[in-house]
Chain A
């Protein structure tokens, strides 16, 4: 059951990500990104992180991507033109991407014992809520990073306000 969920939504995420690259129209690309985020939310949920799944849907799919689509609609961006691209992109890009992929998979595989594992769908049947655990961790051991992050976001908001004010 959980394997089926994982396969379906894992494939959907990959297909959405590929579609994001191949689509020519920015709206279609943005919608593919929404599909990727929603499938990731299902994967989080199947791993027992239901709060993360809900946050993913509400924040990323429901707010950030809506703003993206909003901007694309406002700018009325047309279809992108295909160019052959620069040679540097071909020479450095593909090996670079392959190198990053290899590095990441090497790190994840070699540090597997330190990262810990979670059974697929193992938490779905039990009624353990991880919301209280997350909030407990955030407000005790991770309090400083949490508050610093909120200050960072506040600075970003103020920066946006300043930039918008200058245009008036």
Chain B
């Protein structure tokens, strides 16, 4: 690689990174759907998809093919440009925020970090900003569909998302205060000193913030028990009632990509990202550079996977909230508790730090 200059190496490696991360994200979206159907099936004492391939493992492929081959219906009364652009906004925003997530230990090749697409010094704010832009996908899809179910679904979803965004953002402030940085790499580094006891969840005494984040994240991604925006019993399917074929699939993929992003952020901010829960205890056993990198990725994927499993478990366990309960819970309970948590963390850091 000597005949390439630094910029060309950076450009090529970045393009390769983007391609690989995009493919892996889309694949994990597809298999999260399968995981959800299988686990939900077992929770409800049935098998889940089991016909296509061994254990139903080819089911996502067939689902994708089915959605792709379906007729793309465009109802007559829709606002055409917005109707088309809404699923693109939703999926685009859901996929963009993965770009700032560091999913492995710092591994430099020719000065380029292999396990993160972009290391920004405001990485956390970028994720929050992109998530808040994603609200437009939901809002516009409901309005442009020109249908009362879609409109009600998107009104509920939009109000819910902008309400819970506050509690979500405030719950992360404790972790930011502790790391004194908004860069996700720095936040992970601040928790990787002694393994699990230096994670923000345990050693940082951020468990209240963690549970606030968890609940706000469920509401932010419109998942059960806060999935009022697509309450089947009252709204058909919520904001994507009028969508079919690939446009519907894009909303579907956006929902699961958002789940993955939210799980990544929870992992990074509260569970120490790609650092091992045992700290540097077993470093002498696995010492090669490739092995260290693979182990860091293993821990990151394992943590994200456990969050996804929790998502599915919660969906299989809890009934849906009523809408006023949802709003009261967000504004009157989560938000004040998150503020108290910020004050307590700041005071503790001032006296000890």
A residues near B (Cβ < 8 Å) are 27, 31, 34, 38, 50-51, 54-55, 57-58, 61-63, 66-67, 69-70, 73-74, 127, 129, 131
Contacts and interface: CB of A to CB of B under 8 A. Distances in A.
A27 B181 CA distance: 37
B97 to A, nearest CB: 12
Interface string B143-182: 1000000010011001100100100010000000000011
A55 B122 CA distance: 11
Interface in B45-100: 79, 82
B181 A73 contact: no
Given A66-B139, A69-B139, A73-B151, A51 B125 contact: yes
B80 to A, nearest CB: 12
B182 A66 contact: no
Question: B129, B135, B136, B182 — which one has the most chain A CB atoms within 10 A of its CB?
Answer: B129
B136 A69 contact: yes
A38 B128 CA distance: 14
A58 B155 contact: no
Contacts of A34: 136
Given A51-B125, A131-B182, A70 B139 contact: yes
19 contacts: A31-B136, A31-B140, A54-B122, A54-B125, A54-B128, A58-B132, A62-B129, A62-B131, A66-B136, A69-B140, A73-B142, A73-B151, A73-B155, A74-B155, A127-B121, A129-B121, A131-B121, A131-B122, A131-B182
Task: Say whether chain A's binding surface is mostly helix, strand, loop, or mixed.
Answer: helix
Contacts of B82: 27, 31
Contacts of A57: 129, 132-133
A63 B161 CA distance: 10
A54 B158 contact: no
Measured as residues with beta carbon below 8 angstroms from the partner, the interface class of chain B is 20 to 34
Contacts of B126: 54
Contacts of A54: 122, 125-126, 128-129
B158 A58 contact: no
Ranked nearest first, the 8 interchain pairs of A and B with the lowest CB-CB distance are A62-B132, A54-B125, A57-B129, A58-B129, A73-B143, A129-B121, A50-B122, A54-B122
Nearest to B183: A129
A27 B182 CA distance: 34
A62 B125 CA distance: 12
Contacts of B122: 50-51, 54, 131
B215 interface: no
B21 interface: no
B121 A70 contact: no
A154 B289 CA distance: 54
B120 interface: yes
B155 A70 contact: yes
A111 B143 CA distance: 47
B128 A27 contact: no
